[in-house]
Each structure stands twice: as C-alpha cells, then as structure tokens.
Amino acid sequence: MYRLCFLLFMFGSICACAQSANPFMNDANGRPLYLRTTYIADGSPYLYEEYAFAEITSSNGTLYPNVRVKVDLVDKLVIYITESGDEMIATTPIRQVRFHNFISSGVAQGAVVLEGSDGSVNSPGGKIYQVLESGKAKLLKELTVTFSDNKRYGEATVTRVFTRKETYFGLFDGPPGLKKLERNKSSLVDFFPTMKNEVTAYIEAQKLKCKSEEDLIVVFRYYNSI
C-alpha cells in the first residue's frame, strides 16, 4: 500500500511540474471561465467531463505538451487550467488537440486527435472533427452536441438535455474534397473513385460489413498503405 501511494504521489508531482513548467501558460491568450449553471444537466457538453493532458498545437505551429484541457463541443471552446488552478478559456487559435491515453469515467480512452473545420478547433461556429485515420485520405468524425431545455409543470428547475451526434466524413486534398460517409459498403467504395476495384476486393477479402467505425478505419488505413 505504501509503495502504491508513493508511486501515485510521484506521478502527481511529475504531472504538476510538467503543467507548471509549460510555456503555454505564458504564451496563450485566455479569459476566465465563469459557469453560471441554472439547470440540471442530463448529459454533458464536453468531449470528456474530466480535464486530461493533451498536446496543443497553436495556429502558428507551436506545440505545447502536457496541458490539462477539456473541450466544449457546444460552444467550441478549449478550456485549460493555469498554474494557480484557475479555469481559462483559450482565445488563442488552436490548430490541434491531441489527448494522451487516459481514463474517463472509469473507462480507458486511447489517444484522440481533434482538428477544426477551418484550421482552428476553438473557432466560434466552426466544426470539430476527430481524426480517425490520416494519410492520402483522412477519415474524420464530426462531433456535435446540441441541447434542449425541459421544465415540467410546477417545477422550478430546468433540465438541460445534451445530445451528442457523430457524423463521418472522408477528406482528400483534391477532388472530391470533404464528403459525408454513410456506414455502408457502397458509400465507402464510392469515396475512392480511382481505386474502386481495389477497395471493393479488399472489403470482400476481409469480410467487412462497413457498418462500424472500426471497419471504416480499416478501409482507410488500407487505402493509405497502397
């Protein structure tokens, strides 16, 4: 037990040092986060409810490792914690957020990379994509959260219900550019017009149904390898 406590203490100390020494705290522009919650939340506006360590790449290409952040998918905000523990909303344009492996709500999460539709994750009114596979073609998952407020008759408190939606897209640098993908074989094959036969043969050989995110990743990974 003593050894476990010591290791946890050391890990916490290392993370704290990494956070306090990070130049992002000096370079980033931000404004304080003021939460005025007047409702009961059903669901969450955040990608992950907890703060997690991530690599932040600013719009000018500067990379900042080990910044504790969380991402608001409703208002397209990147929120970080300062050395003094204050919660701040980053106003500096952020090109990419790359989360490390971590545990959220008791579930292990793999590395997650976020990018914005116009080159900035925290662009007001923009779109946030999770990069599932990259190369000659990118597989993107658009992450959106909407909400509705419900107030039952005779109740004083509003319940805000957050609903998350995931939409898949393929992206080429050239034509067809960004194209929405349905999770089926025909939509996936049509995205690769010059390699239709090869992609079709691969899908059939691997017995893929193309209905899961994992299958989409496998097909894009195959295309990027040839």
User: What confidence category does residue 141 fall into, taking pLDDT thresholds of 50, 70 and 90?
Assistant: very high
User: Residue 139: left (phi > 0), alpha (psi -120 to 50), or beta?
Assistant: beta
How far is the C-alpha of 43 from the C-alpha of 163, rounded, in Å? Answer: 7
Place of tokens 């393929």: 170
Please tell me the pTM assigned to this model.
0.84
Q: Considering the chain, what percentage of its residues have pLDDT values greater than 90?
A: 68
Q: Which distant-in-sequence residues (6+ apart) come within 8 Å of 93 by Cβ?
A: 58, 59, 119, 120, 122, 123
Torsion of CA 14, 16, 18, 20, to 10 degrees: -150
How far is the C-alpha of 143 from the C-alpha of 115, rounded, in Å? Answer: 11
SS3 at position 16: helix
Q: Show me where the domains of the chain are located.
A: 2-181, 182-226
Amino acid of residue 29: N
The stretches of the chain forming alpha helices (DSSP H) are 2-20, 24-27, 185-190, 196-206, 213-225
Q: How do residues 160-199 score in pLDDT, each as one tens digit?
A: 999 999 999 999 877 668 999 999 999 999 999 999 999 9
Is the pLDDT at 33 greater than 70, yes or no? yes
What value does the mean pLDDT take over residues 200-211? Answer: 97
What value does the mean pLDDT take over residues 71-82? Answer: 95
Helix (H) or strand (E) holding 57: strand 52-58
pLDDT at 156: 82
User: What confidence category does residue 21 fall into, taking pLDDT thresholds of 50, 70 and 90?
Assistant: low
| Of 12-21, 129-138, 210-219, minimum mean pLDDT range | 12-21
How far is the C-alpha of 196 from the C-alpha of 32, rounded, in Å? Answer: 51
